[in-house]
Structure 1
Amino acid sequence: MSADITIRPAGPADIPAITAIYAEEVLTGTATYELVPPGESEMRSRMTGLTDRHYPYIVAVDAAGTILGYAYAGPYRPRPAYNWMVEDTIYLAPDARGRGIGSQLLRNVIADSERLGFRQMVAVIGGSDNRGSIKVHANQGFQMVGTMKATGLKFGRWIDTVLMQRAMGEGATSIPQSDAYPGTLG
């Protein structure tokens, strides 16, 4: 990755760029099964819903201040037994792909989630042909859990969902000493 890329926490001023990056993927890609790009207000609400609960939400910025991508961790499922597990999300601007930026974002989201006390991270990848995302996750220690066939219908074709998972911190080798939501422990 280029030395002129900075990874930092995302903030409200980043919403227009985040919204544009996500809209591009909604309209042209299969990493998300959303069909209509949400506007800035909805994206702001989504960000706040995560950051208010202490989930990591970060951006990659070049030397000129352009946001090249963003990533965050959020709840995998709403049931309390899943509190120790997060799902990661990474989106890159088209011209930022293949430059190692996704790997850097993922490394940072893993480190932040681990510091907060989460024990497992899952990647829910849209498209079994999404080799870039699968490779980025495998390079960060994610193991293939499985492929759910034909789970999404987008662009007139069925899309598979790939599940990958990795342990963080002590993983499943111990039981946390607190019932508290992990994000409040960091």
Structure 2
Amino acid sequence: MPTRTATPNDLPAVAEIYAHYVLTSVATFELEPPDDAEWRRRFEAIVGAGLPFLVTERDGVVAGYAYCAPWKTRPAYAGTVEDSVYVSPSAVGRGCGTELMRELLDACRAAGLHEVIAVIADTGDPASIELHRRFGFTDAGRLVRVGVKHGRRVDTLLLQRSLA
């Protein structure tokens, strides 16, 4: 499965995948899909910080992406990141999430990171939680009713994976 480092040319496909989740789900708490300029800013910030931003392809088309961003901006949190993994609806069930998570964790280790935090909206769909648990993430907490989207209050689950 071709998983590789993302390039700026991948951003339109990344934006399309993410827009689906922004508009149709509570998996992300963003209310409006980011525009092209915002995706470029995010990409440059992540890559500029030496953090991984990956895509995976199926049949020559970007089918999913994953990246890590700093968990917090304070210097004491250096080495701790938050992961994001999104798969195109047309590619769900084709191993994209598993491949992205495996490669993302390898890239985090190579970057010298120590802790990866997952903040997962409790949507009732266990796919993201199960993906993270398969890769050794453990429960670190629950934030109750912290998000409101599509008229629904949503909890978030915190999971954590040590790389050291």
TM-score under structure 1 normalisation?
Answer: 0.85
Match of 2:128 in 1: 133
Can you list the C-alpha shifts for 1:128-172, whole angstroms capped at 9, x where unaligned? 52310000000000001111110100010101101000110x2xx
Question: Of Structure 1 and Structure 2, which has the larger fraction of its residues in strand?
Answer: 2
Identity %: 39
> How far did residue 61 of structure 1 move?
0.8
Match of 2:81 in 1: 86
Count of matched residue positions in the alignment of Structure 1 and Structure 2: 164
Q: 2:100 and 2:27 mapped to 1: Cα distance?
A: 16
Which of 32, 37, 50 is 1:36 aligned to? Answer: 32
Match of 2:42 in 1: 46
Answer yes or no: is the 8 Å Cα contact 1:151–1:158 preserved in 2: yes
Q: 1:140 and 1:60 mapped to 2: Cα distance?
A: 18
Q: 2:159 and 2:37 mapped to 1: Cα distance?
A: 31
Matches within 5 A, 1:133-152: 133-152=128-147
Q: Which runs of 4+ in 1 moved over 6 A?
A: none
Q: 1:157 and 1:107 mapped to 2: Cα distance?
A: 32
Q: Please give the root-mean-square deviation of Cα atoms over the aligned residues, in Å.
A: 1.0
- SS in structure 2 at match of 1:43: helix
Question: 2:3 aligned with 1:7, yes or no?
Answer: yes
Q: Which runs of 5+ in 1 are unaligned?
A: 171-186
Matches within 5 A, 1:64-79: 65-79=60-74
TM-score under structure 2 normalisation?
Answer: 0.97
Answer yes or no: is the 8 Å Cα contact 2:142–2:156 preserved in 1: yes
- SS in structure 1 at match of 2:141: strand
> How far did residue 99 of structure 1 move?
2.1
Answer yes or no: is the 8 Å Cα contact 1:128–1:147 preserved in 2: no
Higher Rg = 1
- SS in structure 2 at match of 1:68: strand
Question: 2:164 aligned with 1:166, yes or no?
Answer: no
